[in-house]
């Protein structure tokens, strides 16, 4: 029997918090992203990051043509705005933003706001993030990401 032997991809991807790379999309942005999984680095169809908002920080108004974006609040507090509605968000809350809706997430608390953020499909999110400026994660960032500390609400 003749045939081409193809190498199978690794059946799983594993990373440690110590190895995560972080980026700020634009130099003056008040939020930055610790990349967990994305199509550029890992070959997956979605982007999964920890989005970290400085006190008073927020995303610019944005929308996605086909992607859904989900936020799980790990620590801190804020407010989410979507198509004229708003909701308070805090640790343990989940927020899903549908395609085509204009939205903003804002840190309204005294400390950083940490969200596990997933966009599926990627819709250029990983490219936007990784095209930004590298950022060093703080000790506090790594503690929150690993679940070893809680930031004040």
For 51-104, how does the pLDDT look when each residue is reduced to its tens digit (9 = 90+)? 999 999 999 999 999 999 999 999 999 999 999 999 999 999 999 999 999 999
User: For position 153, what pLDDT does the model report?
Assistant: 42
Query: What pLDDT score was predicted for residue 37?
Result: 96
Check if the beta carbon of residue 109 is closer than 8 Å to that of residue 78.
yes
User: Residue 11's pLDDT is what?
Assistant: 83
Dihedral of alpha carbons 135, 140, 144, 146, sign: positive
pLDDT score, position 149: 63
Check whether 111 has a pLDDT greater than 50. yes
Taken in order 91, 106, 142, 139, the sign of the CA dihedral is negative
List the structure tokens of 151: 């930031």
CA–CA dist 139, 51 (Å, integer): 15
Band (pLDDT 50/70/90 cuts) for residue 150 is low
Q: Which CATH superfamily is domain 20-145 in?
A: Jelly Rolls (2.60.120.10)
Q: What is the mean pLDDT of the chain?
A: 91
- pLDDT on residue 88: 97
- The residues spanned by each domain of the chain are 20-145
Predicted pLDDT at 115: 98
pLDDT digits (tens, 9 = 90+) for 130-143: 999 999 999 999 99
Residue 61 CB-density burial (10 A; 0-12 exposed, 13-18 middle, 19+ buried)? exposed
């Amino acid at each position: 029997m003749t045939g081409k032997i193809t190498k199978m991809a690794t059946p799983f991807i594993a990373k440690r918090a110590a190895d995560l790379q972080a980026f700020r999309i634009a130099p003056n942005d008040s939020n930055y992203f610790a990349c967990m999984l994305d199509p550029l680095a890992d070959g997956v169809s979605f982007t999964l990051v920890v989005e970290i908002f400085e006190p008073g920080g927020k995303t610019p108004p944005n929308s996605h043509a086909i992607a859904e974006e989900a936020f799980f609040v790990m620590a801190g507090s804020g407010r989410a705005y979507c198509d004229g509605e708003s909701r308070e968000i805090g640790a343990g809350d989940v927020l899903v933003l549908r395609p085509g809706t204009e939205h903003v997430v804002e840190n309204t608390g005294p400390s950083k706001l940490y969200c596990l953020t997933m966009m599926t499909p990627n819709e250029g999110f990983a490219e936007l993030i990784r095209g930004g400026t590298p950022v060093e994660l703080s000790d506090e960032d790594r503690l929150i990401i690993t679940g070893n500390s809680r930031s004040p609400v």
